[in-house]
Amino acid sequence: MTRLCVSLTGSTCRRMIEDMQAAAAAGADMVELRLDCLDEWDPSGIDMLLGAASRFPGEVLATCRRAAEGGHCDEDETVRVSRLEHVGLSDAIDYIDFEYESLRASPNIRQKIALVCGSRHGPAGRPKRKLILSKHEIEATPPWYTLRFTLDAMGREGADVVKLACRAGSIVDALHMLDALHYSVPARPTVALAMGEAGLITRVLARKLGAFLSFAALEEGREAAPGQVSIERMRGLYRWDAIGPETRVYGVIGCPVAHSMSPAIMNAAFAAAGIDAVYLPLRVEPGFEALAAFLTGVLRRPWLHMRGFSVTIPHKQDLLRFVDRRDGVVEPLARRIAAANTLVIEPGEHLDGADAKVSAYNTDYRGALEALCEGLACRPEDLRDTPVAVLGAGGVSRAIVAGLRDWGCRVTIFNRTRDKAEALAAEFGAQARPIEDCARHDARVVVNGTSLGMWPDVDASPLPPEGLAGRPLVFDTVYNPMETRLLREARERGCATVDGVAMFVRQAAAQFELWTGRPAPIDTMRATVIERLSA
């Protein structure tokens, strides 16, 4: 079983004891006592800490990380090792983490660590202290062959566990760390983690690949290493306890992507539907080559069971290009929109993923149309000849205009830049009018595709109140806040309204159904979004 280990970084022994109790309550399997984070070395405080550690219901790991490998200890090696000896000889400690480079540098240190980890046994059959031999590359991730060589070399030292942590410059580095873990686990207990935002997949998928442990912070803002997330997020948002060897992996690709609500809504949907899957935020740097490198890497690793992705800014056009290069399938309307937000991966039989099939779709227009039809209590085919005013000519409006015209609506586009509106209108057979005319329209439906009214600019509205009276439906694609000024003023004038959450949920539900072939739990997904927005 892969342990979920909470790193305790308190500056005093008393704080570390309090944090240990909190980690136990949060469901940690193991705690790491980061002795290098203590402000001072107080022997009586250390004894009190060890006493508390002996009562921790899980396992206890002691670390005194040297500064050269990302820790806080800049003491002489003799002092540092003596501190590890002091705690390591206690029956409260199950594992000692010590650096490979320090072990190799001194026969005397090697002997001391061996005495701590190789000879003493605790009472009542308690096993001996075990050695986690570690190496931290805090600047960059070495080439994949170096990662394997390093793990093999550490394995030959007779350690109980080998651990490698490297800073990821990109998400492809994280794939290389997963390679190293996949390669090493059958031979020995292994930890292989990529540090930084791009390394999240190595922390969550450690359980899927059978790593010895993965680290979590006790709470946000108290990370012991770059890229750590809280135990609450690991167990709650990322469904740590439900992950197994066959868990399918999905995610949202974008840059930035850390604050996306998609992981919350999709993981809640998988849990509600009883599907063995996890959904993660995946930071992929801008540019086609970065996206292609990641997706090619995914296809070459079918053992990761990555089956599909949501794709957001700046990669919606890049996704179409990638699928075309792979001779994949592109939804016709997604091609007309010139943007796709969904990738579906069907695995092949080849171990290198060469025969995997990829398909690209755009669910933005589908989500908008379904939300609009729900608001009008009609079917898509009933929209034919309905006059619709679309405010804005950006990416969101483009997808909506394409969908509306595909169902035969009469669309007029209002935009501040007249040339942009006319170009979009000409492409899809719509009309274009100056933004100054938006209050004088005869549309039955108004759709806001701009960002006006989005938090924090909540007092803005793309349409003056006189343009709302008598309209059966006003649809605002902005979902934060849920009730924009535009929707509030529309309701005051007797209009039916549709909020942006409806579109967001519907487009996500369409992705869920493309990936799983099962109906999406719409109510759960909407409730999750509302909960997140409220928070």
Mean pLDDT value across residues 273-301: 98
316 is catalytic: yes
- 251-362+506-534 and 377-498 in the same fold: yes
Three state DSSP letters for 80-144: HHHHHHHHHCCCCCCEEEEEHHHHHHCHHHHHHHHHHHHCCCCCCCCCCCEEEEEEEECCCCCCH
Position 433 pLDDT exceeds 70: yes
More confident residue, 89 or 231: 231
Q: Which position among 36, 318, 364, 499 bears the catalytic label?
A: 364
Question: What's the pLDDT at 125?
Answer: 46
Give 127's pLDDT tier (boundaries 50, 70, 90): low
**Of these residues, 112, 305, 315, 316, which one is catalytic?**
316
Average pLDDT over residues 367-375: 94
- Give the pLDDT score at 126: 46
What is the three-class DSSP state of 308?
A: strand
pLDDT score at 120: 44
What's residue 350's pLDDT?
83
Neighbours of 460 (CB within 10 A): 14
| Known catalytic residue at 128 | no
- With cut-offs at 50, 70 and 90, classify the pLDDT of residue 528: very high
User: How large is the average pLDDT for residues 241-253?
Assistant: 98
Token reading at 29: 């399997």
Query: Average pLDDT for residues 210-234, to the nearest whole number?
Result: 96
pLDDT of 121 higher than 50: no
Assigned token pair, 317? 């056009």
- Looking at the chain, the whole-number percentage of residues with pLDDT higher than 70 is 98
376: tokens are: 């009008």
Residues in the chain: 535
d(C-alpha 224, C-alpha 204), whole Å: 16
**Topology at the third CATH level for domain 3-245:** TIM Barrel (3.20.20)
288-299 and 171-184 are packed helices; what angle lies between their axes, rounded to 10 degrees? 20
Q: Say whether 522 sits in a helix, a strand or coil.
A: helix
- For 407, list phi and psi in degrees, rounded to 5: -100, 10
Name the active-site residue from 72, 112, 135, 163: 163
CA 296 distance to own-chain centroid: 19
pTM for this entry: 0.94
Mean pLDDT of 24-51: 96
Q: Provide mean pLDDT across the span 314-327.
A: 97
8 A C-beta contact, residue 127 and residue 121: yes
* Domain ranges, ordered by start, for the chain: 3-245, 251-362+506-534, 377-498
pLDDT computed for residue 435 by the predictor: 87
Rounded to 5 degrees, φ, ψ at 447 are: -120, 125
Active site residue 364: yes
Structure tokens at 210: 């059978």
Angle in degrees, CA 471, 477, 483, rounded to 5: 75
First to last CA, the chain: 34
264 neighbors 139 (Cβ within 8 angstroms): no
Structure tokens at 140: 């960059």
CA atoms within 13 A on the CB side of 473: 23
Identify the residue with better confidence: 193 or 466.
Answer: 193
CATH of domain 251-362+506-534: 3.40.50.10860
136 is known as an active-site residue: yes
Sheet containing 130-137: order of strands: 190-195, 161-167, 130-137, 95-99, 59-63, 30-34, 3-8, 213-217
Question: Mean pLDDT of all residues in the chain?
Answer: 94
pLDDT at 124 over 70: no
Topology of domain 377-498, CATH: Rossmann fold (3.40.50)
Share of residues in the chain with pLDDT > 90 (%): 87
- Stretch 520-533: mean pLDDT: 96
The single residue of 72, 112, 135, 136 carrying the catalytic annotation is 136
